[in-house]
Structure 1
Amino acid sequence: MALRREGYLTGLADLLDLPPGTTATARGAAVADAIATALGADRCAWHAGPPRWDDPVLAADGSVTAGGRRLPVERTGLPPEGITAIVVTQDDDVLGHFAVTASTRVVRPSPEQLRVAVLLADSMLARRPSGR
């Protein structure tokens, strides 16, 4: 477990150290790959703007909700149909979301893995100029 935790932290540090000229698209792809790895998901992709209204959402506390109800992902896994969104906001503005797909097998991420995924998603805010 300690090695996994160290790997998460090393991966996050590497993401935060991307070259200053890195485009939002390249940063999004790198962060998406890290999120998919951290969660054990099939894939993850960055999309500008908010997710669909009915997509399950992974919150900052590591909970996954859909339709106002908490989903027991520790028992049932991430929803296999569609995506689970990790929304990235700055102030009250939705900058985009990561669409996590876990459709080929049951993926039951730990609470720690879920929180790491949110932390990784928030790295999209790194080096973003304020006032934009």
Structure 2
Amino acid sequence: MSNYRARVTTAAVTGPLVVCAALIPFRDGFANANAALLLVLVAVAVATAGLRSAGIVAALSSAVWFDLFLAPPYFRLTIDRRDDLEMTVLLVLIGAAVTQLAIWGRRQQARASRQKGYLDGVLTTSVAVAAGSSTAELIDQVRAQLIAVLRIDGCRFVPGSTTARGPLLSHDGTVTRGSHELKVERDGLPTNAEIELPVQYAGRTRGRFLLTAATRITRPDLEQRLVAVALAAQVGAALASPAELEQPSG
């Protein structure tokens, strides 16, 4: 990641430099407004890498090289014309704004991709249940999906209806320890105890997944936790008897 950041930051500095240097032979007949648009495009290209700091560097670099090479007096960090001064300030502001928008867009795209992955996981498990896959295979599949969705270290399944003793991931996505609700998105999942995710069907507990987040702080949001509950419910349905499955819900 550090090498990637270094390469993007280098591009943020040298990209505007190359553009401005290339425009030096044409600066007398090339409007500075058009040059500014080209520099904004460079800032956008850098911003798509997803690093806010690199986007800001690209905006500042664009302003500096524009001032040195394209705004008279040339090769001095001085601007005599008001239009060029305004253009320089706008370069910084627009570059910073575009960077923020690009990063927001990447986050929305990543969120949509994650949501699709969660849905695919639930659907895959549903298909496995409908296809009559063995309970052991289904549990292993859900274990792997829980680790991926919650970004935890490990997960194991324990059959039976033993009452929860440690932190509990409830059906509504909340995580509690006793009567105290934990702020998962702020503090992360507990790392000093296994978190119990009940496997239930028709009001009966069929077992529980024990989730381990011992080596790192992970902060799954409510959506991720609800996906985990849905996955556990699929196992609960698989463990139910045929007679229970035939009974109408409610």
TM-score, structure 2 normalization: 0.49
Q: Residue 18 in 1 paired to residue 128 in 2?
A: yes
Mapped partners of 1:43, 1:66: distance in 2? 19
What is the root-mean-square deviation of aligned Cα atoms in Å? 1.8
Q: CA deviation at 1:21?
A: 4.1
Paired amino acid for 2:116: E
Count residues in correspondence: 132
Paired amino acid for 1:125: G
Question: Higher helix fraction: Structure 1 or Structure 2?
Answer: 2
Q: CA deviation at 1:11?
A: 1.2
Equivalent runs, 1:1-132 vs 2, <5 Å: 1-18=111-128, 20-50=131-161, 53-127=164-238, 128=240, 129-131=242-244
**Structure 1 runs (4+) greater than 6 angstroms displaced:** none
Secondary structure at the counterpart of residue 118 of structure 2: helix
Paired amino acid for 2:133: T
Secondary structure at the counterpart of residue 107 of structure 1: coil
| More relative contact order, 1 or 2 (CA 8 Å, 6+ apart) | 1
Q: CA deviation at 1:10?
A: 0.7
Q: Matched residues, percent identical?
A: 33
Q: CA deviation at 1:103?
A: 0.4
Secondary structure at the counterpart of residue 171 of structure 2: coil
TM-score, structure 1 normalization: 0.90
Question: Higher strand fraction: Structure 1 or Structure 2?
Answer: 1
User: Which deviates further from its counterpart, 20-29 or 80-89?
Assistant: 20-29
Deviations 1:48-85 (A, max 9, x none): 02455421111111100111110111111111012111
Mapped partners of 1:130, 1:32: distance in 2? 26
User: Which deviates further from its counterpart, 66-75 or 120-129?
Assistant: 120-129
Q: CA deviation at 1:32?
A: 1.2
